[in-house]
Structure 1
Amino acid sequence: MKKLHFNIKKIFAIISKKDAKKISTILITIIFMVGLFIILLPNINSVDVTITINNIPPNEPSDPEPYDGKLNVTLNPTLYVFVSDSNNDTMDVYFYNADDDSLIDIDRNVTGRGIASVSWLNLDYDTIYEWYVVANDSILENRSEIWSFKTQMQGNPPPQNNPPVAIAYSSDNTALTGEEIQFDGSMSYDTDGVITNYEWDFDDGGTSTEITIFHTYSNEGIYNVVLTVIDDDNAEDTDSLSITILVANYPPTKPIITGPKTGEINKTYEFTALSYDLDNDTIQYMFNWDDGNEVNTSFYKNGTLIYMNHSWDTFGEYTILIKAYDGKAYSETSDYTIIIGNILNIDDIIEGNLIDGNNDDTYDFFEDTDSGKLTKVIKYNETTYILDTKGNDKWDYVYRLDTGETSDIDEYISQRVPGFDTVTFIAMTIVVIFVMAIKKRK
């Protein structure tokens, strides 16, 4: 028997209030689809339906007013609570009497970060009341803890004024110098009046009386930002934020390297490295010599040309890696290749070196001593090498080991085989290369 697994994933990515009415239709459609599969495929013995609802419940309501344990509360208080939702969904906030779980009232369509409030009317004197709230985003909900307050005694005058509650919010707690940070005091509230003044102190000499303001810092440091709110009865409250400001940093430039392209074993060679830092920071250089040795220099003044020496004790091709560091960030890594091997100097109609890079008694490269450029060579026979000194894939010179003489390739051909043109010689060379390649494969 076949077994069908019918998986429905992410039917709801995030279901907001406006989608809530569609839930029943979606569920009916799912049931119909599953039934259709069962009818059309009678040999299916199971249907596995997975529905994932990617919705985060509202955060636990907090910051009640009257605050927990408050005394001498009026007989018709307004209840306030702060609610928020990670999906920024709007919420219906239900206020309950904790004594019997009866509903006091509902504040509907509260924003994803805001204050919900209802009035609780006709309470008794000198009585302790307990209450809680449930924030519901139409899919999931979260309940607060239980809070309590005690109403005023009979004959006592109502309290003169409840101070406002300051709530300071920032778009970032960490930023770079010169970057804007948004500061918002709009979540602040007053239970029995209105807030008339907002005062920001940014701890760098800057202030503002706006409810919402953008501010930038010029220097690194930790700043204690204070919001003071004042109500219509001149009562006030403060809230503070800790803001960390870092200095913007540019990494050093990719190092420029100079040095020889070839060398011999156990011989010391000099290399230079140069990098610049736009912040004028001091620079440290890190060398990896590709032979198991690494060196970190001291910190040098920005733009200083540094010199480093190194030698290798084994034949081979080495890739030197160098990067610069300003104490905060690394540059891109530069690489530089040097071939360490047997070197045969040519000082004739051309000047340069033949390089045996793997110590197999066969020269692999020609180095132009003026430009430092490496080009390929071919061993034509035991005493003769064909050179491409320009690196343009055209053979231009022939060097003889037995005589130490260098000849132009056309002149060499005419001397060796009168009437034998360059094309024929190159064809023979290709044959030699092909034979050598076959031997290497074997």
Structure 2
Amino acid sequence: MNNINSILRFKTGYVAIVTIFILLIMFVFIAIPVSACYYKVGTYESDYSTLKESFFKGQTVYGRGSAYDYNYFLKLRIKDPNGNIVFTSDKSQHVVYCSYILNGSALTGIWSIQLGILKNDWQWSTLPGRISYFKVKDSNFTLITNVIGNGSIIKDKNQDYYHYGSILNVSAVAEIGWCFSHWNSDLCGNDTTKKIVMDSNKNITANFVQNFYDLNINIVGNGTVNINPYKTNYTYGSVVNLTAISDEGWYFDHCTGDIIGNDNPFFVTIVNDMRITVIFEKSLFNISNYNITINIEGTGIVIVDPTKNNYTYGEIVEITAIPDTNWYLDFWSGDITGDNLSCEINMTCNKIVTVHFKQLENQDNLEKIVGGGGGTNFKPFIVEKSNIPPVAIAGGPYYGKVGEIITLNGSNSYDIDHYIKSFNWELGDGSIINGEIVTHIYSSAGQYKVILNVTDTKGKTSSNSTYAIIIEPNHPPSKPSISGQTIGFADIDYVFSIVSTDEDNDSLKYFVDWGDRTQNISGHMPSGKIFAINHSWSKPGIYCINVTAEDNETISTNEFIIIINKPMDQDAFESYNIILVLFLILILILSLYLLKVQEKEKS
């Protein structure tokens, strides 16, 4: 019996030894690999999370190392291909970061970055996880050009990439109506041509501003000029409506200078500084107001257009004779002669006009014809009341924008004795439309001469012209461009660059919704200028950044997604702690079990 107990005790002890040995093996295979995972070092993009193992001269190397299982201090150091230490970071616990610029003297080849740990002294191991390698190549730099306003940038070497130290010339060329103002970003000054030394990636901006032109109106004589729109100065292509208004006793005669003619009103398209002289002439005999005396012989009426008590010198008046039934216009006398139903008279003095109506001699509609032989013959014909031409009134001038519907209204046109049966519009862009009130869309900006032709029921016609002034519409800003981190970590500030351009060169305002119930609003910024702003998120998650660009009339929006994580090494550290705690608990349980077994054997 004693032998049997001895054998059992031996087996139990053997089991305990084997169990402890197995636990030690487990510790070797579990604890040691986990501990090895604590060390990590590498080179990255500026986000310190995207691995990067190749760099050009002029770029920045971003390094990160971690050792979460220790409370020792850490450092990073960088060596060139010759083994020279060119950089050593400051010390930090758990995670250490560094950045190093590869300048023009940087050697090409294989470089290294090492993670050092302070244990009594700094230890620089070459074991995996403690050292990483990256390659440095000859630099290829990019040149980004931006334009604010209307113009362009010309490069004498138009390449995608430039080697370190390359020299190139850039020139700012303004569009018509604009001028170059200055450079900014990586260039400064206001010389139109500049040299650039490519020792890094370059970003240059040429700023152009609109030219402003003066409109000088000189007046000779007594009168004024109405200017619409009136401004201190004008941009290229602006259309200005000028109307000459004479004082009493004076009349508008003509214009000289940059506009020559006697149209009134007249339009000016601004293309440079413009000088116009408006000449008013004094009326003859120094009489400021004139009148018309109309005498009528026979039966009929006379219509005067315009109808006034007095007229100014040079004013044109239309006089129309309308015979009564069975009467006809025989002739005019006085200051009008001839037998036309309608005549125009220039008011250069007081006027006296006599209209002579004559009754038909045969009430049965017979026309008297005096033959060459002195006899009198009659032939029948149908007598109709004389037809007065209609009066076309085109209205306007009309103002609108490209692509916008404008309405042209000819409803003020009239006919005294009949009816207008057709309205025909010539719109100045090759389009012809029929109708009393019509709509039209112009496809390009400009000043269009619009002609309204009207025809009455008896076939008489008249025309009237006006202008359609069409300007470019307000264009919405371009969809905002957003650049920055796409993956990041909580509680770290990240820089985002936002930019939009406006075709009309309007200033822009940016609204940024970060997706975490916070927003930012920029001030008004020039079109094309980059809006740089920092932001951090306090919690991990996927965030949608919404950016709106506004030009005070229209908006454009864009979205940008960023993923925010917990620090990656901290997660690993926590998982390692969990594994070790579970392992210790398992050892404790097994130890208690073995002790119990031994107590039973003793008893």
* TM-score, scaled to structure 1: 0.31
Q: Which structure has the larger Rg over C-alpha atoms?
A: 2
* TM-score, scaled to structure 2: 0.24
Whichever structure has more strand as a proportion of its residues is 2
